[in-house]
Structure 1
Amino acid sequence: MPETATRPESDPGTPARARSWWGWGYTDAHPDDAECVAMGSLLPGTLAAPLPVPQVADLNIGRPALTPPASLGHLVTADPGERAAHAMGKAYRDVIRALRGRPGRIPDLVARPERDQDVADLLDWAGAHQVAVIPFGGGSSVVGGVEYRGDAHRAVLSLDLTSMDRVLEIDAASRSARIQAGALGPVLEDQLRPHGLTLRHFPQSFEFSTLGGWLATRAGGHYATVHTHIDDFVQSLRVVAPAATGESWRLPGSGAGPSPDRMFLGSEGTLGVITEAWMRLQERPRHKASASVAFADFGRALDAVRAVAQSDLAPANCRLLDPGEAALAGASRDGSSVLVLGFESATAPVGDRLATAVDLARAHGGRGETPTTGRAAATPAADSAAGGAGSGADSAVTAWRSAFLRMPYLRDGLARMGAVVETFETAATWDRLPALIDAVRTEVGAAALKATGHPATINCRLTHVYPDGAAPYFTVAVAGRPGEEVEIWDEIKAVASDVLHRHRATITHHHAVGRDHRPGYDLQRPEPFALALRAAKDALDPHRILNPGVLLD
């Protein structure tokens, strides 16, 4: 029989770290002014001094446009700080708008339901009063997925499920668990750890995103091969929609028609609110091995990664950093590209698999350090970056792991210096990949220079790899024009999206569609599917209150 999990209680003597309402992560982890200036000096044309950290008090947040009934009052707040923190996600576009005092429409109310019935009651009220409902997750969206744009609704309600954060049941025999969708990554793993189990899904936003957010956006995790997306761990979903509530069966597999779970995976809160999921778990890994391999030629490095991806080795980590990305991470100082490899297992040593992967990479011109092995990382936060790295990981692996966790904070520091720092990711088949990467570097670089008058830094890394293709992740950094950073961001984004479309690369591999990727998604989506999606929206959300403007008009 399934057992009930116990949620560990936090130590009341330990103060909670404050989350930033305007930028990434924790306020105490943000770069200070001196560090911002030092980073800005690396990009010609940035500001002489950083923009001040924005304050909620400067936003002049007005009264809510609508008041909920008394029966819902205990679930809802109109606190200005809460409303500001739920106004946007964590994209560069969001950060610079907050820094410039232009956050857009701030939600009138923030709701924190505690059970499914609360969600249903909130949706009933919102539908009857033309209130837009924006499922918030952990608020880490980087594609405009958790904000409201427009004026078609009387009021805006941000729906925050983080009070629904418990592992409700664990089925040890089936190695699965029923988990509420509002569980943040660390909260979820803390409840699984005493049972020797893990979901082992570690996106970069692990600390600040929820299970429901991962499911609604089809999030990518730390696995570079095989189990690359949250989809791979889903056993069944429970969804509360304005029109109905339903739950799919728990099954190891089924051929009974189109998958009901697939309708809601990636639906981004437009069809219903995912409140629970049965998720497939794993034993916690006990064996790890990692190594890095350097390449003088990026093209040969791509060939090496393809060889590893098309083998049966299935590394947990197989990330290729181009010279710029490797230098930024401190993984290389001689202009080399660096391949970071990692393997892990709960049952057997993985050193032989790593050695074989390193040999494959060396056969394509790589030069690698001696592979190292070690025990599993001690904390989930370390796991999220480690991707199979052991405690004895080589210097390049260690540098990359540290940079991986720090990078979003550094982006915000550059934003304070007036820089435009854009990231976007995609996926394409191996035959298209080299030309795609070259086109992004050339055309996006030209667009950034035209928009700003300054040369841009454009770096690329492969985050996930498959036998038939890979997912390149690009970072663009350039000095902006004071006060016009959003417009420049929009210009660069439009050019990047056009390049992806022309090369038949997806508009997003794991960042979701949101509002920022809508034009590219509309071009990629087949029309018969669009017809079916519109019909599903009409049936499940007849008042069109759920996340308006995402996926559909």
Structure 2
Amino acid sequence: MDRRSPSASAAGPLPRRSWWGWGTEDRALPDGECADLGALVPGAAGTPLPVPGIADLDMPLSRVTAPPSLGHLVSDAPEDRAGHTYGKAYRDVVRALYGDLRPAPDLVARPRTEREVTDVLDWASGADVAVVPYGAGSSVVGGVEYRAGLHRGVVSMDLTGLDRVLEVDRVSRAARIQAGVLGPALEDQLRPHGLTLRHFPQSFEFSTLGGWLATRAGGHYATLHTHIDDLVESMRVVTPAGVNESLRVPGSGAGPSPDRLFLGSEGTLGVITEAWMRLQDRPGHKASATVFFDGFDTALRAVRAISQSGLHPANCRLLDPGEAALAQVAVGGRSALVLGVESAGRPVDGRLAELVGLARDHGGAPAPAGREDSDTAAGTWRSAFLRMPYLRDALARMSVISETFETACTWDRLPLLVDTVRRELAATVRKTTGSEAMVNCRLTHVYPDGAAPYFTVVAAARRGSEVAMWDDVKAAATQVLGDLGATVTHHHAVGRDHRPGYDRQRPEPFALALRAAKQALDPAGILNPGVLLDPAPRPGATG
């Protein structure tokens, strides 16, 4: 085994993160481009909302002070508190643009060791201070925003100081990795070993391994190992009741899985500090192709055939006509299916040809296939995919609702679900905003028994009422998903925004067990209160 792989941070400082929006400041659209983009949406505001400077924010005063023993770990600087107030959902971006920092944490803690994580939790448990674990802040469901109002203070625990690959087991193709490492730094540390975790969510640049584990994140790959769950050998989690470390084995039938208790727990039961993760050899063979369809229902049947074929494409993204046009992949009302295959050891052209053949058998018209890095429709889609959050922020500055939500259901219910969501949300937007909505759909992940549709809603809102209007649309979407037996989230997690839908779909006996686990592991109720469960009232607590 190789130990203590060097941190990628030695390569130099990263670009400055945006405190109010997605990604880095240098990639945000300037005012002129925001206005040009807004002009494409009927009813959008004529000028962009200004981006407040940190010095201009009305930041609430910190209510708590950490003890001297923790002073080197914590900060109450306005830029730290502002940058850790919200995640990166549409409603978060809009509130930040209006300078609403009322939920700001009192302190930001940056532990660099597991011992320091424990020290912070020990102090907070005795001081009635809530602790919100924070990976890189890319939550789009209110997962890092404190709303409980029951505690004396709030600490955002930024875990990006735990950023190393500690061991690499090349024989077993696994690595022990600290939870605070960002996606690019993780891959940089694995690259010299010829290995990859092969987990690339859209937030890859701005999210951490611990965040992926805590939210059961879905990666870019559309079939087979779609969620981070599939890549976990064992985990180490610090709870107020002690450290939980599971046995590192390839599989076990010894009772309920301890890892499953913490996967998806979103910081409510403990702080994930490291994990042994299953790796793969880096792929050396890649190929991609795009297939066009005249009808979305026809394309759905083609994708179902592909998902049940056992060919396991790495990419199998189906874009409806609106989504395909936005990504500049297809025009003329056609849907586009972007296919990709890869392998570490053998050519993939034959497998790609089989996939394209299946799509053709179901009415698809293939475009000329190209290599992964060539100028193809697939490459165009990838560029648009990574750029989309910045465009979302630009539209938010123009008082345009531009937001997404995702779900999953079985194939037999999928056509009805897509049609109902489009119809109901268009009607809700019209009633709520007075505007016509664009409601697009794409499939992000596919399984033999179903798929994960991902919806985009774009509509002009009334300046000053953007958040309330989106909340009405989101509530309607949640209602439709629940009525049709679809999950409230496939890979965005629950956070606080999805609690109504999660409470509806969660079995009550499981809820009882989850509440008992919360009480046993976090008896003071300090860990991310309000996520997954209502915070338990505590005698004598002040808010």
Contact 1:94-1:103 at 8 Å conserved across structures? no
Alpha-carbon separation, structure 1, partners of 2:80 and 2:383? 31
Q: Return the match for 1:130 from 128, 131, 146.
A: 128
Alpha-carbon separation, structure 2, partners of 1:211 and 1:80? 27
Contact 2:216-2:227 at 8 Å conserved across structures? yes
Contact 2:59-2:101 at 8 Å conserved across structures? no
Q: Residue by residue, what CA displacement relative to the aligned partner does 1:105-142 show, whole Å, maximum 9, x if unpaired?
A: 11000000111111111001001111010011110000
Matched residue, 1:392: 374
User: For the structure 1 residues 174 and 120, does the alpha-carbon distance in structure 2 shift closer, same or farther, using more than 3 Å as the test?
Assistant: same
Alpha-carbon separation, structure 2, partners of 1:252 and 1:122? 33
Tell me, what secondary structure is at the counterpart of 2:71?
helix
Matched residue, 2:421: 440
Matched letter for residue 513 of structure 1 = V
Matched letter for residue 5 of structure 2 = A
Q: Residue by residue, what CA displacement relative to the aligned partner does 1:208-248 show, whole Å, maximum 9, x if unpaired?
A: 00000000000000110001000010000000001111200
- Equivalent residue runs for 1:184-199 within 5 Å: 184-199=182-197
Deviation at 1:372, TM superposition (A): 2.5
- Equivalent residue runs for 1:150-299 within 5 Å: 150-299=148-297
Alpha-carbon separation, structure 2, partners of 1:371 and 1:479? 38
Alpha-carbon separation, structure 2, partners of 1:231 and 1:167? 19
Matched residue, 2:541: none
- Equivalent residue runs for 1:39-438 within 5 Å: 39-373=37-371, 390-392=372-374, 394=376, 396-438=377-419
Task: Say if 2:489 is the partner of 1:508.
Answer: yes
Deviation at 1:63, TM superposition (A): 3.2
Q: Residue by residue, what CA displacement relative to the aligned partner does 1:64-84 show, whole Å, maximum 9, x if unpaired?
A: 211111111111111110000
Task: Say if 2:6 is the partner of 1:6.
Answer: yes
Q: TM-score, normalised by structure 2?
A: 0.97
Matched letter for residue 102 of structure 1 = D
| Structure 1 runs of 4+ with >6 Å offset | none
Matched letter for residue 437 of structure 1 = V
Contact 2:60-2:102 at 8 Å conserved across structures? no
Contact 2:4-2:164 at 8 Å conserved across structures? no
Count of residue pairs the alignment pairs up: 534
Q: Residue by residue, what CA displacement relative to the aligned partner does 1:436-469 show, whole Å, maximum 9, x if unpaired?
A: 0000000011001100001001110000000000
Task: Say if 2:443 is the partner of 1:458.
Answer: no
Deviation at 1:32, TM superposition (A): 1.1
Task: Say if 2:532 is the partner of 1:551.
Answer: yes
Q: Residue by residue, what CA displacement relative to the aligned partner does 1:183-229 show, whole Å, maximum 9, x if unpaired?
A: 00011111111111111100000000000000000000011000100
Alpha-carbon separation, structure 1, partners of 2:141 and 2:61? 28
Deviation at 1:88, TM superposition (A): 0.3
Alpha-carbon separation, structure 2, partners of 1:32 and 1:437? 35
Deviation at 1:421, TM superposition (A): 1.4
Alpha-carbon separation, structure 2, partners of 1:310 and 1:353? 14
Deviation at 1:484, TM superposition (A): 0.6
Alpha-carbon separation, structure 2, partners of 1:179 and 1:267? 19
Deviation at 1:9, TM superposition (A): 4.7
Matched residue, 2:505: 524
Alpha-carbon separation, structure 1, partners of 2:506 and 2:373? 44
Matched residue, 1:377: none
Alpha-carbon separation, structure 1, partners of 2:63 and 2:102? 16
Alpha-carbon separation, structure 2, partners of 1:28 and 1:332? 29
CA-atom RMSD, angstroms?
1.0
Deviation at 1:104, TM superposition (A): 3.2
Matched letter for residue 188 of structure 1 = L
Tell me, what secondary structure is at the counterpart of 2:163?
coil
Q: TM-score, normalised by structure 1?
A: 0.95
Alpha-carbon separation, structure 1, partners of 2:414 and 2:387? 28
Task: Say if 2:474 is the partner of 1:476.
Answer: no
Question: Percent identity at matched positions?
Answer: 66
Deviation at 1:43, TM superposition (A): 1.1
- Gapped runs of 5+ residues in structure 1? 374-389
Alpha-carbon separation, structure 1, partners of 2:102 and 2:429? 25
Contact 1:23-1:95 at 8 Å conserved across structures? yes
